[in-house]
Amino acid sequence: MKEKRDIIDWLDDHQQVFIDMADKIWDYAEISHREFKSSRLQADYLESQGFDITWEIGGLKTAFVAEWGNGKPIIGFLGEYDALEGLSQKRQSKQEPITPGAPGHGCGHNLLGTGAVAAVMAAKEWMEDTGTQGTIRYYGCPAEENTYGKTFMARDGAFDDLDAALNFHPGSINMPSKASAVGVNDIKFRFHGRTAHAGGSPHLGRSALDAVELMNVGVNYLREHVTSNVRIHYAITHGGDLPNVVPAEAEVWYFIRAHKPEELEEVTNRVRKIAEGAAMMTETTSEENFRAACSAVLSNHYLADLQYENMQVVGPIEFTPEEMAFAKDINDAYPRENSAEFYRQVTEYKIPKEWEDKLKAHIGEALLGINLPAFDQDDIQTGSTDVGDVSQITPISMLSTAGFPIGAAGHSWGIVAASGTSIGHKGMMHAAKTMALTAMDLLSEPAHLQKARKEFERATKDHPYKSPLPAHVKPPRYEEPGA
């Protein structure tokens, strides 16, 4: 294995190992912090291939690092494996759960983690064959759907000595990203009041639910007075037990998002003041439970361009007529505007005319297998990911590959269905090949790392990474069923 074609061929020859792994994790469908079988499956495999395994990184029971090699440079591959609650779905193009209410891989993390395992294995085989020095690591990262697994790992120093990191997420397009994403604070506000009979003596009660509702009203008025990159959303997690009892306890759960750390802090403090005001109005008391946080994403443009060069070496994804038909059936089950919205968003990027014409030729297709360069340089995505914390510590490239029908909504049954089929498998292996070739470049040609690091240092020199987690915040810990 001396050439890039050799790495691609090795991954083709061994793809069934990784397809089987991804399918098992799809079957397990374990939610955040409970990915016991999924993490162990990957760790056991990598250990059998000569990697050293370290568990419970950052205090997370299902977090591990698998390391092989020695010395510099050190290249990391980020993996995830958590599913989403309530998204159970059969491997078919019609919505039908395997078990109603059970979890499902509505974000394709069965593919995400396994694709990174495949890439790190291919890099190991190439390093062994060529005698290349360096260290490679696979990071098994739990709880991305809660947006903070990597944040706890980062606070523990897990990524501090990396020279660069590679990451991918299955999506509807083959494109490395130069975009950013906003940071988030995850906070629950609990109000304590005084109970009373709501019919007989309501004047004696002090309603915690009233405080929650007044807080939400106040925050909804705040929405008019924040910038366009701020997002605030909530869910009432407890509002009382009976309508004829004044609730003494009530709770609301907030996600507060902003791009710049100082703006996130400012908006969060304004939300806190609203909670205090709601407590004053209702003569209740408020209590804050700061659960977690993650930082905004800093994409490394040099690495993104390097990923695109290697994606071109791999070539486009070739989907079969049967896969196209399966994807079309899924798309047809969603509103038509979903597919139109996908192409509208893509064409809003700063795309050269020749690429606009290429994309127009594919409008109406259910799957998009062509490779695109990073057109999203100025885009700030208003979702969040804990990859942001890694990106503030070391250069990282966020890669997307096509494993989903273009009309399937994120975190929905159509994504679950595709993630368990050959459509998802092809996107996963496309990413594995691209990341493995990029790792080969970084390990064999120091100039690539130097350029990526120079860009990173320029971007972070005035604001080095600071964990967004307060020191007292600890990750939740669960016991494995039957353990």
Q: Model confidence at 207, in pLDDT bands (50, 70, 90)?
A: very high
Task: For residue 199, give every residue at least 6 positions away whose Cβ sits within 8 Å of its Cβ, in sequence order, or none.
Answer: 244
More confident residue, 479 or 338: 479
Q: Right CATH number for 183-293 from 3.40.50.300, 3.30.70.360, 3.90.1150.10, 3.30.750.24? A: 3.30.70.360
Place of tokens 């977090």: 63
Residue 49 DSSP symbol: T
Q: Is the pLDDT of residue 341 over 80?
A: no
Using CA atoms, how far apart are residues 475 and 92, in angstroms rounded to an integer? 36
Tell me the percentage of the chain whose pLDDT exceeds 90: 89
353 contacts: CB under 8 Å, gap ≥ 6:
none
Which of 328, 333, 325 has the alpha carbon at shortest distance from 94?
Answer: 333
pLDDT for residue 117 is more than 90? yes
Domain locations in the chain as residue ranges: 4-180+296-460, 183-293
Provide the token pair at 275: 């909670």
Distance CA 187, CA 424 (A): 34
d(CA 440, CA 420): 29
Class of CATH domain 4-180+296-460: alpha beta
Say how far apart CA 141 and CA 117 lie, in whole Å: 12
**In Å, how far are 35, 136, 137, 179, 394 from 164, measured between CA atoms?**
26, 10, 11, 18, 5
Q: Which of 150-154, 231-235, 241-245, 364-368 has the lowest mean pLDDT?
A: 364-368
Kindly list the distances between the CA atom of residue 481 and the CA atoms of 34, 35, 138, in Å, as whole numbers in the listed order: 9, 11, 26
Residue positions counted in the chain = 483
pLDDT above 80 (res 345):
no
Task: Tell me the pLDDT band of 1, cut-offs 50, 70 and 90.
Answer: low
What radius of gyration do the chain's Cα atoms show? 23
| CA angle in degrees (0–180, nearest 5) for 278-282-285 | 70
355 CB-side CA count, 13 A = 15
Residue 354: pLDDT band with limits 50, 70, 90: confident
Cβ–Cβ < 8 Å for 162, 393? yes
Mean pLDDT of 330-346: 81
Residue 352 has pLDDT above 70, yes or no: yes
CB 21 within 8 A of CB 45: yes
The answer, yes or no, to whether residue 347 has pLDDT greater than 70, is no
Strand-pairing partners, residue 74, are 135
Q: Quote the pLDDT of residue 147.
A: 78
- Summarize pLDDT for 26-57 with one digit per residue, the tens: 999 999 999 999 999 999 999 999 999 999 99
Q: Where are the alpha helices (DSSP H) in 99-191?
A: 109-130, 149-155
pLDDT tens digits for range 263-290:
999 999 999 999 999 999 999 999 999 9
pLDDT tens sequence across 376-431: 888 888 889 999 999 999 999 999 999 999 999 999 999 999 999 999 999 999 99
Q: Rounded mean pLDDT of 191-217?
A: 97
d(CA 169, CA 385): 11
| Share of residues in the chain with pLDDT > 70 (%) | 99
User: Mean pLDDT, to the nearest integer, of 173-180?
Assistant: 95
Contact of 107 with 411, CB cutoff 8 Å: yes
CA distance 8 to 10: 5
The mean of the pLDDT values for the chain is 95
Report how far residue 432's alpha carbon sits from residue 403's, in angstroms, rounded to the nearest whole number: 13
CB of 264 closer than 8 Å to CB of 257: yes
Residue 339 has what pLDDT?
A: 75
The letter for the amino acid at 7 is I
Q: Is the peptide bond before 352 cis (omega within 30 degrees of 0)?
A: no
Q: In sequence order, which residues have a C-beta less than 8 Å from that of residue 454 and are 6 or more positions away? A: none
- For tokens 């990784």, the residue is 18
Q: Which of 263, 44, 69 lies closest to 140 in space, CA to CA?
A: 44
